Structure 1
Amino acid sequence: MRYSAGHKLETKEKLLQSSSLSAKKTGFSTMGVDGLMKAIGLSGAAFYSHFSSKDALFAAIVERELCQSLERLGGRGEQDRERLERCLKLYLSMVHVEQPELGCALPALGAEIARSDVVVREQAELWICRLQESWAQILESDSLAWAILSQCVGALVVARMLASPQIQQRVLESSHEEIGRQLAVQRAQ
């Protein structure tokens, strides 16, 4: 039975959405094709009508997730600096630590992206650089944008590695305070 092009696109979108959530929660390398397809109610054999390989799916997940991060965290107009500071506070939150599937892909998938082939890393680089450029424009500092981006991602990775919620919270608060100091110094210049 042949399905319409619309049905195929809907199925591919369901697969991307489901796989993205699972990858951010448990890691991409741990997921099998059969499990990915079962999660959306299809057989593993149907996977290859949507993606040529599991690596191709991972590349699509990286692109989708980093594009969404840019939409959520990038600049949008006059109130950009205040908006960025509010986003950073939400980014460095226990909700983000405890629910990786609902947050940014960089802390959740960064190590897997780093181990991927050059095509995936180049794709990630494109989106990360777009986000950094957006922040650099808002902050009027290329290096501050890189520093804050790195601080945020690193703080989430470290917090997720820890077992104690109290220490996780201290990592987040310390990072937020340091970013606040950096922003205050930059504002005063």
Structure 2
Amino acid sequence: MLADMRDEVFDQDRACQALSHDRDRLVEAMDSGVADIDRLTFPDGPLTLLDLAVHVTMWDEINLGVVTLALRGRPHWSLDPRWETAEAGGALNVGGVRAGRGLTEELIRHRFHAVRQAHIDTIAEIPRSQWEQELPFAHSGSQPRTLGGLCHYVNTPEADPTRKLTYQHAAVHLGATSLSRAAPTGTG
């Protein structure tokens, strides 16, 4: 049973472990070719695991931009209320997957791994004092107005109806909605 921890802000180590564990699950699914993809509707038919990799990577790139600009004290375009709608998010999802379908598997995997590592490294390298420091701008989440709170907010997938699977975007779409919120162990 999941504890109600939607507003618990992870420290950087736990955030990086959760991101790493989640993205490793997607790599394992792509390598095995066996997985059910849940909670991601697409007008052009069923999604493949490569489509899911494109989708998760697109949002990781957006979230990386959010963190990068927040480190400079500036809000990212995606935090503007005009972008925080189901319609805008849906259009980004459809456009991102359609664009990805024109890429080879090799390019999709290369992009996925590069963005995964950049996202994790950027969070890991934030000085702890800055992680907990108040931001000069607001975000629409209920989390604290700190860099850690912002990372928590943007890394909680909209597709998770519980809004509890922070840093677990791939898991939400792979149907793993019963994951424990405890920090994953044995990740690499």
- TM-score, normalization: structure 2? 0.30
- The structure that has the greater radius of gyration is 1
Relative to the length of structure 1, the TM-score reads 0.30
More helix, by proportion: 1
